Structure 1
């Protein structure tokens, strides 16, 4: 039987990703369109859209 862990382990990268996903979900729920535009996603995530590569993916 495995012992109970008392130490708290936090993955800070995962917590940031969860927070950003939540922000996108809130924005999508509030949007009148079916999908968020790439510009709106950049705005929600607070990133500069010019960092995108021309194919539409991350740089």
Structure 2
């Protein structure tokens, strides 16, 4: 019987989402205060349109 948790993950969108979430967690942990929205947007690569 194989290990039910030993699976191959081949979902590129999910991997990108996990990386973005990880980057936010790291930035939030390193910050003394709440991250401002512009910093969150920068980490997520969100472009601001004027």
Q: Which runs of 5+ in 1 are unaligned?
A: 52-59
Q: Root-mean-square deviation (CA), in Å? A: 2.3
Structure-1 residue corresponding to 2:15: 15
Determine which structure has greater relative contact order: mean sequence separation of CA pairs < 8 Å that are 6+ residues apart, divided by chain length.
2
Structure 2, unpaired ranges of 5+: 3-7
Q: Is the 8 A contact 1:24 1:44 kept in 2?
A: yes
Larger radius of gyration: 1
**Paired residues, number:** 46
Q: Return structure 1 stretches of 4+ with deviation > 3 angstroms.
A: none
